[in-house]
Structure 1
């Protein structure tokens, strides 16, 4: 009878306490003694900065509910940091300490915890109870109930009811209760078993700085499709707190070895057969189809289809289709189709496109498109590159676009502060050509169309492409050099086989700010006309080509150039 009574007895709280819950850890920073001067008028931000310098703490909070420029009038104070913060901000705010971080939360509501404990088996404990609003006595739904040490978690239902199964009971369990807009609560439960408190290893924890800001992952396509509403609620309730675990294995995001608390766990090794959704990775993560990390990924991550990270990435990220990172990537990002990131430092490689808001000191390589709305290091793309300011060079099959890019290489280079000009010129073979130059302050491309003014055999028209460089540019004089290749066409625009290559030195005198005149010598190589019988060897000439033989020869070009 006594054993039955002990087995079924309801254990109520020994400590129904801690209106402000600090994850059950010693509060060294908040309990520290401080001395602060009086201020006739100051701001929250100035006080936080002074505390940061004196107490070596970092404050994290949501800027929407606590403004740094809010005016306050604190008196001189001597006592602990918690009471000082409570005095200057008011009772509607609560404070948690995680490492050096003091997390300030707006918690105007309070809750009560009423629970009981049952031990149906020797190796199992079931904690059940109700969570209510102290002021209204109404049940609180979707509150997070969890045991940090055992990695167990659940949510209350619409009646405020919860059940938490503890498979391996200790002599001490901390039942932690969190709910957005409510002050966190913790209750300690002691069981009549022989385990030693000191035998239990404390689980390592961490905090994601900046969590209080809007979290893009949940608003994204990946968040809406692959993260359950319960996961989003859990994340809001527990804030930026996360725990470390050696490993986790999941079949899908809802079927994981960590159960419901998986979204707050950072794993050293994570294996997702189909896909998984965790707090983050600090090691290696493998996904058959996808990996979703709520916060950071540090190490190596590979997925058959896609990786999505709500925070930052440090290391290597590989995906068969694409990678999406809402924070910063420092390392290498490789996607079969697409890479998209807020900020990247390192290398991005994609089969189709790379896109980033900021990519300074970064190399982007893509089969089709690279796009950075900020700065970038190097961009190489099969079709197009776009950036604000390019520190290195751009190489594109068709077009480069930038506000500033001194070394773009492409057919068209639309650089805001660079070269854009039209010229009308005639060369030694009496082809009248219209040339368009576009590029940066150093390198630029040349596109030209021309027509023969005299009989030149089957060739009637020509188009030319090339690469040029500005060697000198003063108010009255400019010096350029260009390498071009020309293709000839018949009067019916049939492409001929006699190509011509030229190297030019172009000195230009500026008649006005926009109009220049130039006379430029050139060294050329021209292939023979395709309908002639070839002579012996290649001919060298001082001036003009030989239509019957391949020819190295001197030439020139003269014309007018208009700066656009």
Structure 2
């Protein structure tokens, strides 16, 4: 409907529109001719797949209101796509077209629009009115009223009343009304006296594909604290639709150059003095304290405290404290404290922790903890790493945990399908020792403790740590290589200065599946005993160390190994 009016005329109009609007654009895909066969019994998903292949369209919808496995029996059809969808799904569903996307919405309710247009100034238009439920005549609160070309938006109050202040009057105003569960309504208003019909550039728009899924941003801590209820309502009403703008500047999420519609704008450049909340970024975003994007971030994002993205990230995120991404992050995340993401591909660097549901093909570097509840690539942490399946290696100061990790390096490694055994042994220095090996199918760590059986020096006890590799593992035979370092203590558990390092080649014969016996040669370097006076330089010996000198020497161990 097109309205012509002068500054002195007020018009009150009641609209009952039973079809969805297309953001002021022609329906291309929905108007395309389709020819579909009859199906005696099929599913919605199978029909959508066939339409996707034939018509080059993508369907988006909320899985809670439309099930892909719903059984339908459509008749043969020849006509436009809109009529076909309307026929197989019913009048309670409506369809919007955004690019290749056909958005299917459950809209059993209808609304009426009763509004008045005023022109108090030459370049100012005020549109006021009421939105009501056409069936019950009750007012509809929290409906979104907006003009996408001018980037203007507002919400109706509890009485269904709204005011849309158009500060600069253009030749065309599109008053669009959206409300969750209601079919969308649109009114076009033209000013014939001052109209400049030709040459006006249409504003670019887009659609966020993941909108129909559970949108966790608004349920998160960041959403509850930094996003207003009105923004959440606006997002629900407008669905995954967003508009593009060259730039925006905001002081806080509520004070933005884009006004109330800021949460549906994707900007090429975004500057947030304290913080801002937008639909997304396709370029650069700078935040003094924080940046919040409802949908995707592509490019470069920097915040003094935190970045939060409800969709996907492609590019670089830098934050003084943390980065939070609810979708997929491809690129680099660097945070002073925490990076948290659903799925990550690239690099995560955090002062404290990196955490992800899926981190395959990713390098995670953290001062304390790396955690992936599914697969992971490379994990390096000061304290601990955890993942389900590690396809690279793990390096941790204390512990690595995984279902599968062939190359973990840490004091302790709890790998479900990896190495776990205890050894009781005696070595060439007459130490009776107990060793615990833990790790993956290839690399493992060694922790051990021993007591001297012969009292011929200051050392009474010893503890050692090391790294080993399982070189060969057969049904009756295994071959290992290990490097260890040993520290010595007195009978009063005082740590001595002399250390010992060993390289061992350990062949083991398996008596049973769990018990093995081994006799292994070793090549060692030992420092002289602490209480001795040095009498010469480093000595080389074929067997046994010299307690008065630093010594390279040959030795050996023998014992039993029990698989845990």
Specify the TM-score bucket, using the shorter chain as the normaliser: over 0.9
How far the C-alpha of 1:21 sits from its partner, in A, is 1.1
- Equivalent residues in 2 for 1:168-247, closer than 5 Å: 168-247=168-247
> Which residue matches 1:426?
426
What is the rounded CA distance, in whole Å, between the counterparts of 2:11 and 2:242 in structure 1?
29
How far the C-alpha of 1:196 sits from its partner, in A, is 2.2
- Secondary structure at the aligned position of 1:135 is classed as coil
What is the rounded CA distance, in whole Å, between the counterparts of 1:539 and 1:280 in structure 2?
69
> Which residue matches 1:530?
530
> Which residue matches 1:551?
551
> Which residue matches 2:82?
82
Asked if structure 2 preserves the Cα contact closer than 8 Å seen for 1:16 and 1:188, the reply is: no
- Equivalent residues in 2 for 1:10-409, closer than 5 Å: 10-11=10-11, 17=17, 19-409=19-409
Asked if structure 1 preserves the Cα contact closer than 8 Å seen for 2:16 and 2:134, the reply is: no
- Secondary structure at the aligned position of 1:199 is classed as coil
> Which residue matches 2:540?
540
How far the C-alpha of 1:8 sits from its partner, in A, is 2.4
How far the C-alpha of 1:19 sits from its partner, in A, is 2.7
Deviation per CA, 1:427-459, whole angstroms, max 9, x where unpaired? 000100000000000000010000001123110
Distance change in 2, residues 1:190/1:12 (3 Å):
farther
- Secondary structure at the aligned position of 2:388 is classed as strand
How far the C-alpha of 1:195 sits from its partner, in A, is 2.7
- Secondary structure at the aligned position of 2:299 is classed as strand
What is the rounded CA distance, in whole Å, between the counterparts of 1:325 and 1:22 in structure 2?
31
- Secondary structure at the aligned position of 2:543 is classed as coil
How far the C-alpha of 1:191 sits from its partner, in A, is 1.4
What is the rounded CA distance, in whole Å, between the counterparts of 2:142 and 2:16 in structure 1?
21
RMSD of Structure 2 on Structure 1 (CA): 1.2
Deviation per CA, 1:15-50, whole angstroms, max 9, x where unpaired? 975631111111100000110111111111111111
How far the C-alpha of 1:59 sits from its partner, in A, is 0.5
Asked if structure 1 preserves the Cα contact closer than 8 Å seen for 2:18 and 2:110, the reply is: no
What is the rounded CA distance, in whole Å, between the counterparts of 2:424 and 2:407 in structure 1?
25
Q: Which runs of 5+ in 1 are unaligned?
A: none
Deviation per CA, 1:112-135, whole angstroms, max 9, x where unpaired? 111111111101111111111110
Asked if structure 1 preserves the Cα contact closer than 8 Å seen for 2:439 and 2:445, the reply is: yes
> Which residue matches 2:456?
456
> Which residue matches 1:507?
507
- Secondary structure at the aligned position of 1:198 is classed as coil
How far the C-alpha of 1:403 sits from its partner, in A, is 0.3
Q: Which runs of 5+ in 2 are unaligned?
A: none
Deviation per CA, 1:287-323, whole angstroms, max 9, x where unpaired? 0000000010000001000111000010000100011
How far the C-alpha of 1:10 sits from its partner, in A, is 1.7
What is the rounded CA distance, in whole Å, between the counterparts of 2:11 and 2:168 in structure 1?
17
> Which residue matches 2:444?
444
What is the rounded CA distance, in whole Å, between the counterparts of 1:312 and 1:388 in structure 2?
23
Asked if structure 1 preserves the Cα contact closer than 8 Å seen for 2:291 and 2:306, the reply is: yes
Asked if structure 2 preserves the Cα contact closer than 8 Å seen for 1:18 and 1:186, the reply is: no
- Secondary structure at the aligned position of 2:46 is classed as helix
How far the C-alpha of 1:329 sits from its partner, in A, is 0.4
How many aligned positions are there? 560
What is the rounded CA distance, in whole Å, between the counterparts of 1:44 and 1:193 in structure 2?
50
What is the rounded CA distance, in whole Å, between the counterparts of 1:340 and 1:311 in structure 2?
13
Asked if structure 2 preserves the Cα contact closer than 8 Å seen for 1:13 and 1:189, the reply is: no
**Which stretch of the first structure deviates more once superposed, 5-14 or 278-287?**
5-14
- Secondary structure at the aligned position of 2:544 is classed as coil
What is the rounded CA distance, in whole Å, between the counterparts of 1:322 and 1:171 in structure 2?
46
Residues 1:413 and 2:413 are matched in the alignment? yes
What is the rounded CA distance, in whole Å, between the counterparts of 1:295 and 1:171 in structure 2?
31
Deviation per CA, 1:168-220, whole angstroms, max 9, x where unpaired? 21222110000000000001111133332222210000000020111100000
- Secondary structure at the aligned position of 2:202 is classed as coil
Distance change in 2, residues 1:441/1:520 (3 Å):
same
Asked if structure 1 preserves the Cα contact closer than 8 Å seen for 2:14 and 2:112, the reply is: no
Asked if structure 1 preserves the Cα contact closer than 8 Å seen for 2:14 and 2:113, the reply is: no
Asked if structure 1 preserves the Cα contact closer than 8 Å seen for 2:15 and 2:112, the reply is: no
Deviation per CA, 1:45-93, whole angstroms, max 9, x where unpaired? 1111110110010100001011111111111111000011001100000
- Secondary structure at the aligned position of 2:218 is classed as helix
- Secondary structure at the aligned position of 2:546 is classed as coil
What is the rounded CA distance, in whole Å, between the counterparts of 1:394 and 1:99 in structure 2?
44
- Secondary structure at the aligned position of 2:222 is classed as helix
Residues 1:435 and 2:435 are matched in the alignment? yes
Distance change in 2, residues 1:18/1:122 (3 Å):
farther
What is the rounded CA distance, in whole Å, between the counterparts of 2:17 and 2:542 in structure 1?
99
What is the rounded CA distance, in whole Å, between the counterparts of 2:177 and 2:125 in structure 1?
18
What is the rounded CA distance, in whole Å, between the counterparts of 1:209 and 1:428 in structure 2?
68
What is the rounded CA distance, in whole Å, between the counterparts of 1:230 and 1:311 in structure 2?
20
Asked if structure 2 preserves the Cα contact closer than 8 Å seen for 1:208 and 1:241, the reply is: yes
- Secondary structure at the aligned position of 2:327 is classed as strand
Deviation per CA, 1:133-179, whole angstroms, max 9, x where unpaired? 11011111110000000000000111111111112212221100000
Asked if structure 2 preserves the Cα contact closer than 8 Å seen for 1:8 and 1:120, the reply is: no
